[in-house]
A = this chain, B = another copy of it.
């Protein structure tokens, strides 16, 4: 019964066992999106706004915001993106950067209790990020790799997660504010990656009592026909105990799969969300029956 509470100025989202799964929208990330990167760099946040609204409308309950653009002022762009997105939607945000100064800049403007993405088991990262988590009282994604890299040994991955959770407690951060990412690796390269992930999720929940998350689409990297693979993976991981994931909410297979998994887990009380979504779709709303890749509002492009 571990609840991870995050919030905007006016809305709270709770990630927890036996609760509906929390989809964190991944779209606001310039990595691999050249046009978005160019626009963000020159201060045009119109696409960021559109992506935010489209993801919330598609069912994202938290939005990840990443401004990792080479040779750009990442702290400034990230902070401005956070402010802009908070001005048009009330969903809590996940502040995503590998640069500590950018995390700090974004935290200083954020209204509410965000999710910080991320700390790892690397010594330098632990000691630079955890003080920020404590200072701002936010929640944090803990990725289970350390100075030795990403281990293919499940025992090591579990031990790294445990180390981060314990170190966070040393810093006065409760484990309910640590969301462990046991790392979804590409199955195309590592055949047992999916099975291992499921085992780690179950173990993290049973033995550490922590909530979990992951970047779900990594699992299908390099394979064809990725959306049904990603959706099946997330559903299976929910069955094993996963409580949130960073996904593309504009992928209708993913969102339908998540809602279906909530029904199977008994987390969709009286199947109310499932039935309401079906009624909405039958009444002529394009969601969730629209074709893959199309978007409800305007083309989000690049």
Instruction: Give residues in A with beta carbon < 8 Å to B.
Output: 187-188, 191-195, 198, 219, 223-225, 228-229, 231-233, 235-240, 256-257, 260-261, 263-266, 269-271, 274-275, 278-279, 281-282
**CB–CB A195/B265 < 8 A:** yes
**CB–CB A225/B274 < 8 A:** yes
**Chain B residues near A278 (CB, 8 Å)?**
224-225
**Chain B residues near A232 (CB, 8 Å)?**
235, 257, 260-261, 263-264
**CB–CB B264/A229 < 8 A:** yes
Q: How far is the CA of A235 from the CA of B229 in the complex (A)?
A: 11
Query: What are 13 A-B residue pairs whose CB atoms fall within 8 Å in the complex?
Result: A187-B266, A191-B271, A194-B263, A194-B265, A195-B265, A224-B274, A224-B282, A225-B274, A228-B256, A229-B260, A229-B274, A235-B236, A236-B261
**CB–CB A266/B194 < 8 A:** yes
**CB–CB B228/A271 < 8 A:** no
Looking at the assembled complex, report how far the CB atom of A56 sits from the nearest CB atom of chain B, in whole angstroms: 22
Q: How far is the CA of A260 from the CA of B225 in the complex (A)?
A: 10
Looking at the assembled complex, report how far the CB atom of A199 sits from the nearest CB atom of chain B, in whole angstroms: 10
**Chain B residues near A231 (CB, 8 Å)?**
260
Q: How far is the CA of A269 from the CA of B191 in the complex (A)?
A: 7
**Chain B residues near A224 (CB, 8 Å)?**
274-275, 278-279, 282
* Known contacts A191-B266, A192-B266, A266-B187; A239/B274 CB under 8 A: no
Candidate in A192, A229, A260 with the most chain B CB atoms within 10 angstroms: A260
Q: How far is the CA of A229 from the CA of B232 in the complex (A)?
A: 12
**Chain B residues near A229 (CB, 8 Å)?**
260, 263-264, 274
**CB–CB A263/B187 < 8 A:** yes
* Known contacts A233-B264, A264-B194; A271/B223 CB under 8 A: yes
**CB–CB B260/A228 < 8 A:** yes
- The 4 nearest A-B residue pairs measured at CB: A232-B260, A236-B239, A194-B264, A224-B278
Which B residue's beta carbon lies closest to that of A192?
B266
Candidate in A192, A225, A264, A270 with the most chain B CB atoms within 10 angstroms: A264
Looking at the assembled complex, report how far the CB atom of A114 sits from the nearest CB atom of chain B, in whole angstroms: 30
